[in-house]
Amino acid sequence: MASIGKTRLDSGWLAARSTEVSLSGTQLTTTHPPSGPTSPWLNAVVPGTVLATLVENKVVPDPFYGLQNETIIDIADSGREYYTFWFFTTFQSKLSGNQHLDLNFRGINYSAEVYLNGHKKVMPKGMFRRHSLDVTDILHPDGQNLLAVLVHPPDHPGRIPPKGGQGGDHEIGKDVATQYVQGWDWMAPIRDRNTGIWDEVSVSITGPVKIIDPHLVSSFFDDYKRAYLHATTELENRSAWVAECSLNIQVTTGIEGNICLVEHLQTQHLSIPAGSQVQYTFPELFFYKPDLWWPNGMGKQSLYNVHITIDVKGYGESDAWSHLFGFRKIESHIDSATGGRLFKVNGQPIFIRGGNWILSDGLLRLSKERYETDIKFHADMNFNMIRCWGGGLAERPEFYHYCDIYGLLVWQEFWITGDVDGRGDPVSNPNGPQDHDLFLICARDTVKLLRNHPSLALWVGGNEQVPPDDINKALKNDLRLYPYFENSNEISKSSEDLSVVPKDPSQYLDGTRVYIQGSLWDGFADGKGGFTDGPYEIQNPEAFFKNDFYNHGFNPEVGSVGTPVAETIRATMPQEGWQIPLIKKLPNGYTEEVPNPIWEYHKYIPYSKPKKCVDQIELYGTPKDLDDFCLKAQLANYIQYRALLEGWTSRMWSKYTGVLIWKTQNPWTGLRGQFYDHLLDQTAGFYGCRCAAEPIHVQLNLATYFIEVVNTTSEELSNIAIEASVWDLEGTCPYYKVFENLSAPAKKTVPIVEMKYPKSKNPKPVFFLLLKLYHTSDFGILSRNFYWLHLSGGDYKLLEPYRRKKIPLKITSKVFIKGSTYEIEMHVENVAKRADSRSLTYMNNFTAKQGNGDFDMASVEPATGGTDEKHEVSLFQRIFRCFTKENGSLKVTEVNGADVGVAFFLHFSVHALKTDHKEGEDTRILPVHYSDNYFSLVPGEVMPIKITFKVPLGVTPRVALHGWNYHGRHTVH
């Protein structure tokens, strides 16, 4: 008897253009199967798309490099047949009596014919629907099965107007598919419109009874002390007799390592008629004080494993299903004080700071590994929400899994956008897709696929548009809330209350999350559908703090720049793309940037806005070359996005309830709106966000020059103090002040004191400001924030000669290896002579922060100047006793320098150690997770940095340190 369960079919696929294959599907899966990757057959990317397969086999050039996308024929010119492809594979499966095998496709774009062992089955249209075929009766007796799938592109791939535009000519909106594929102001057109078997393919073996789409819901009472787990599942009896079944549900929680604690085990007996499908609801399971799931920054992401099995009398275990489940309650309402939508999790208000998401890769080369990196990056930025934009995907379960793990709430939109479904040039069809029934089939199936994830926070009908009336009405009805979730007041659990609610909440399609008809309605933007999101351009940093910057409570989209580091430009463009923008001086004193054609194609957004914002790169002086331009862009990126989030947080609850930045990343090698590029290297804006969005934060209001303390936690801060020190370019400290005996109420932003510098006499035109918020009891630092500032109307040009400063550094490193994973602990210390000994917090005793399971270097008390190396070694031994393999010993490097001052804008990168690398070759190892980067150190300060990455087999890594005024070649390898 074959084992029950699922087997993924994700390797060994072949693909060929349909017009180049003369055989029928029946012939391919009987007498004439392809024998391997010989013409016209290619090794195929499945899951993936036709274009991903062509790129992988170098049949077409990489569309993400330079202007190569322009050399690939567009489906509008080639015709749909050109991108209609056969996909072929084989699989082994030999069943015993009463066993069944399902062939499962989690996503095909757009329609398909499936042939298995000569038998044909037609797959209906729709990108966002699952297909499950019972193929038991057509399996080969010898267990060797031949599978061929003919995949057709979307019915309405559309054309790309000469000027491009949002969604091309909008024809793609007639289908239920991704809309970004015709191009957008941040994306070039995808030539095959994502045609392919784009999501998981699997076969699953069951006994006579199958478990289908269980639904899990939690409810709470007595201030979250009592919790109930509700569970409903569909059960299908495929046999010709009544199945006598034992249905089991088990709930476990991990304690340590592989040890699990069984919280509940319940068995129900039922009979299922022959050939029928029934719905069964378990008696509710009671939990006392369960561990709750919290969003990032609010607490732990506690998860329980719910395991459902069904045993059939005379057969044994027939099917099994499991899912990680988080006990949590998400509510939202329109806040009367701000007009914005205010979210609560487990009764606690949460100030939303997050970003918009398209998808991880424009060719749908989706993987668990990339998803984990993507989501961990968002958590590392201290974000708590991701919005899945309506022109992209209904994101995959793997995406949601990592959002569950890392605590990112998800706003999931359906496939409607204003540009493609109601406006634009040409004006698009406001009635949405042609087949409304198909849209609803896909929507309902998507809900069933994703509804058990605790991270899923709300459903939204569309981006800047409401779905057509009939679809909107149906979604409102299908996604109506169970009464318990309709308001924030807990209902008493009495028979009188429940008598008016006959259904169990798990019997609803969802029932637990609010449905909002569009991204500009009901507490978002102006709440009435007006185009009051944005802006999408560079801003003067102080503008974000001003009262008139944004007039509504929750902005779902506000965007800006996103130039990556120079290595990414070189890796994604030929040499003619390395030309930096030309600076055009305008009569009004402002400047205009003119990018080269490759940057223009990659949607570059400038760092200047004539009549509104002076060029934020030119503030540092005219850039000389690509490296200079990209480094200065990182300075601007950091300031821009830190100011954006600090400006919003400054008015937490008084004016705003949340903000989502447009956007966090790019599904291709774009040059705008990103915190990390498509190659997974972070911009400095990443760390500006990480700083600004920390749960406890000290900041400078750039409009009022008041120091503010932000406390987004549910605990009041008391016995805290702020150290404010100003440093000039000569390395002296003209201003130093400690503000003691402070407190900060829970979930409040409080102004503390106005900075007197630079209003004092003879202020320096360019200066640094270091703010530290700390506990007075032990000097434990809760927040550290470093600014570089210029006087009003000034610039940063004095920082150019500051590059020549030679600041002495002490760099301590320790390397630990676990398999292919490297973990490197760095201490970087500015050992310049201290210009002022009044500082109380030079110990840099960082306070431990709640993490996501990773070791947090912020909990380390680093050694300070004067501490001997023996003490450092013993400290590291205590820290790293949890790691399995130690590589080498503690390494201490002294960087000579006679100057006193700030070590400015230091940043690490990780490279493959190569002795023969060519000039311009990209040697970076990516992705890398840094506990911090793009940091600065005043004299005497030490910064602990943790660096984590995986290396390919046979590669030796080296870690390089760079800086504005540090040009050494310090490496660790």
Amino acid in position 545: F
Which residues, including other chains, have CB under 8 Å from residue 906's CB and lie 6 or more apart? 828, 934, 935, 936, 937, 961, 962, 963, 964, 966
Give the model's pLDDT for residue 256. 65
**CATH assignment at residue 458:** 3.20.20.80
- 79-116 as b/e, with b when 16 or more CB fall inside 10 Å? ebebbbbbbbbebebeeeebbbbbbbbbbbbbbbebbb
Based on the fold, state whether residues 188 and 217 are members of the same structural domain.
Answer: no
557 as an active site residue: the answer is: yes
Counting residues of the chain whose pLDDT is more than 70, the rounded percentage is 91
Contact 511/481 with Cβ under 8 angstroms? yes
- The pLDDT score that the predictor gives to residue 841 is 56
Exposure b/e, 125-147, CB count within 10 A at least 16 = b:
bbbbbbbebebbebbeeeeebbb
Mean pLDDT score, 603-622: 96
Same structural domain for residues 514 and 570?
Answer: no
Lowest mean pLDDT among 140-149, 180-189, 505-514, 857-866: 857-866
In angstroms, the Cα distances linking 422 to 63, 229, 285, 437, 676 are: 30, 42, 47, 19, 32
559-582 pLDDT, tens digit each: 999 999 999 999 999 999 999 999
Model pTM score: 0.94
pLDDT at 436 over 80: yes
Confidence of residue 97 (pLDDT cuts 50, 70, 90): confident
In-domain check, residue 98: yes
Do 951 and 936 fall into the same domain?
yes
- Same domain for 156 and 255, yes or no, is no
In this predicted structure, the answer to whether residue 884 has a pLDDT above a threshold of 90 is: no
**CATH number for the domain that contains residue 939:** 2.60.40.10
Q: Which of 843, 856, 829 is nearest to 932 (CA)?
A: 856
Co-location of 71 and 42 in the same domain: yes
Q: Is residue 290 in some structural domain?
A: yes
- Tell me what pLDDT residue 492 has: 40
Does residue 515 sit in the same domain as residue 376? yes
Q: One of 56, 413, 557, 825 is an active-site residue; which one? A: 557
Establish if 56 belongs to a structural domain: yes
Residues 6+ apart with CB under 8 A from 686: 377, 380, 381, 675, 676, 933
Contact of 83 with 50, CB cutoff 8 Å? yes
pLDDT tens digits, residue range 832-850?
976 555 565 555 565 544 4
Same domain, 432 and 347: yes
What does the pLDDT average to over 600-611? 96
Going by C-beta distance under 8 Å and a sequence separation of 6 or more, which residues neighbour residue 730?
Answer: 900, 901
pLDDT tops 60 at residue 914:
yes
The answer to whether residue 818 sits within a structural domain is: yes
∠ CA 454-444-220, rounded to 5°: 30
Q: Residues 80, 110, 135, 306: what is their CA dihedral angle, to the nearest 10 degrees?
A: 160
Residues 732 and 27: their CA atoms lie apart, in Å, by: 82
- Do 99 and 207 meet the contact criterion of CB atoms below 8 Å apart? yes
Q: Is residue 796 part of a domain?
A: no
* The last residue of a domain, from among 746, 764, 782: 782
Separation of alpha carbons 104 and 123, rounded Å: 11
Active-site residue 894, yes or no? no
- The CATH number of residue 126's host domain is 2.60.120.260
User: Is 264 domain-assigned?
Assistant: yes
222 alpha-carbon distance from chain centroid: 35
| pLDDT digits 0-9 by tens, 580-601 | 999 999 998 899 999 999 999 9
- Residue partners of 693: CB distance under 8 A and separation at least 6: 297, 353, 381, 382, 383, 645, 649
- Residue of 200, 464, 708, 825 marked active site: 464
Q: How many helices (H) and strands (E) does the chain have?
A: 14, 46
pLDDT tens, position by position, 19-56: 999 999 999 999 999 999 999 999 999 999 999 999 99
In this prediction, residue 262 carries a pLDDT of: 83
Same domain? 66 vs 135: yes
Q: How far apart are CA 520 and CA 526, in angstroms?
A: 7
Q: Is 13 found in the same domain as 149?
A: yes
Identify the pLDDT of residue 91.
97
Split at pLDDT 50, 70, 90, the class of 893 is: confident
Least confident of 68-72, 691-695, 958-962: 958-962
Angle at 854 between CA 777 and CA 306, to 5 degrees: 115
Q: What is the spatial distance between Cα 155 and Cα 143, in angstroms, rounded to a whole number?
A: 36
Task: For residues 318 and 281, state if they share a domain.
Answer: yes
* Rounded Cα distance, 480 and 512, in Å: 8
**Is 92 part of any domain?**
yes
Number of domains in the chain: 6
Domain that includes residue 541, residue range: 532-693
Whether residues 741 and 755 fall in one domain: yes
Shared domain check, 541 and 527? no
pLDDT at 866 over 60: no
- 391 within domain boundaries: yes
Strand residues in 282-315 grouped as ranges (E): 285-288, 304-312
Q: What is the maximum span of the chain, computed from C-alpha positions, in angstroms?
A: 93
User: Which uninterrupted H or E stretch holds 567?
Assistant: helix 566-572
Q: What is the pLDDT of residues 217-269, one digit of tens each?
A: 999 999 999 999 999 999 999 999 999 999 999 999 976 667 778 888 999 99
Q: Return d(Cα 603, Cα 593) in angstroms, integer.
A: 13
For residue 915, CA distances in Å to 150, 687, 911 come to 48, 32, 12
Can you spell out the DSSP letters for 148-195?
EEEEEPPS------TT--TTTTSGGGGSSS-SGGG-BTTBPPPTTTT-
